[in-house]
Amino acid sequence: MKKTSTRLADGRELIYYDLRDDTVRDAVDRRPLDRTVTTSEVRRDVLLGDSVAIASHRQGRTYHPPADECPLCPTQGERLSEIPDSSYDVVVFENRFPSLAGDSGRCEVVCFTSDHDASFAALTAEQARLVLEAWTDRTSELSHLPSVEQVFCFENRGEEIGVTLGHPHGQIYAYPFTTPRTALMLRSLATHKEATGGENLFDAVLERELAGERVVLEGEHWAAFVPYAAHWPYEVHLYPKRRVPDLLALDEAARTEFPQIYLELLRRFDRIFDGGDGGNEGAGEPPTPYIAAWHQAPFGALEEFDGVTRDDFALHLELFTIRRTSGKLKFLAGSESGMSVFINDVPPERAAERLREVASS
């Protein structure tokens, strides 16, 4: 992998990640851009104990442009985009309309491929490995920023999720605090560790799932399963079998196997609504909308979680779709949005069975 860092016309950082070591990246951003001005502010909710990012400048962000005006495609002639070069393998750059900025953290965009009509599932194993290396490198770099406490790599796919740019891409949020979801895991981890005399809750969960009926895929170094208490109709958790706190700690064997496991998982997600799921509109169903979310240990202090260290946390990816059957979405209505109590219409055991049935050819 070759890494080349440059600056866009408004001062934002852009980084090329290339498969070939002899690739030269010297294209200049020719757009007449003013320096980016953001209004991001993090406010604490004293009743719930969580935080909200207020980012009014995002109202003006690019919204469903036509394909020939996509800002994530490479620059071609006088059609200028966020990527100055005429081609790329993987690119990461500071978001022009960030939810978090300055002392409130940082937001980055990750373009998985220059092919506008592709998807992550369509990448080769070599390309997917390069994305993994980019995620890992950015986690390392962002963790050293003084305002950053947790790094979150994720992909939103599909208009149903709220994606406004059709080009295959993900994002990285670098938060100035430990996120509420991670804090809940850490509290459960601490409680279980104390109650069992030191047993790790993540290890216990993985061991239980591997012995059960909800395993979807299993390799030598990774395991994917539908969790016992899945919140979403189709939800899969992907764990390295050797517990590590973050992407940086994955060994070479796990990095090598990851593309095969993850690409197969994504391809199965694209097939689950192609008939046979109880709906009658499966044929021609649009690609499955999903969120893929990496959970990594925070880099900040963990004193509030008694007896827990970073090494107790288990890196894992959660992949889920808001589609519950062909042509129907799972909405977060009163119970979910008002009380944070999810109601799942698809039994996790059936979801796992379905994902085993649709093994890609």
Check: CB of residue 107 under 8 Å from CB of residue 99: yes
Check: CB of residue 150 under 8 Å from CB of residue 289: no
- Other beta carbons within 10 angstroms of residue 215's beta carbon come to 16
Catalytic position from the list 169, 192, 295, 316: 169
Report the C-alpha gap between 24 and 87 in whole angstroms.
11
Single-letter amino acid, residue 20: R
3-state secondary structure of 138: helix
- Other beta carbons within 10 angstroms of residue 211's beta carbon come to 8
Question: Could you write out the DSSP letters of every residue in 289-313?
Answer: PEEEEEE---SS--TTSTT--GGGS
Residue recorded with tokens 């036509």: 66
Q: Which residues contact 77 (CB under 8 A, 6 or more apart)?
A: none
In the residue annotation, 237 being an active-site residue is answered as no
Check: CB of residue 28 under 8 Å from CB of residue 128: no
Residue 152 corresponds to which tokens in the numbers above?
């979150």
Question: What positions carry a catalytic annotation?
Answer: 169
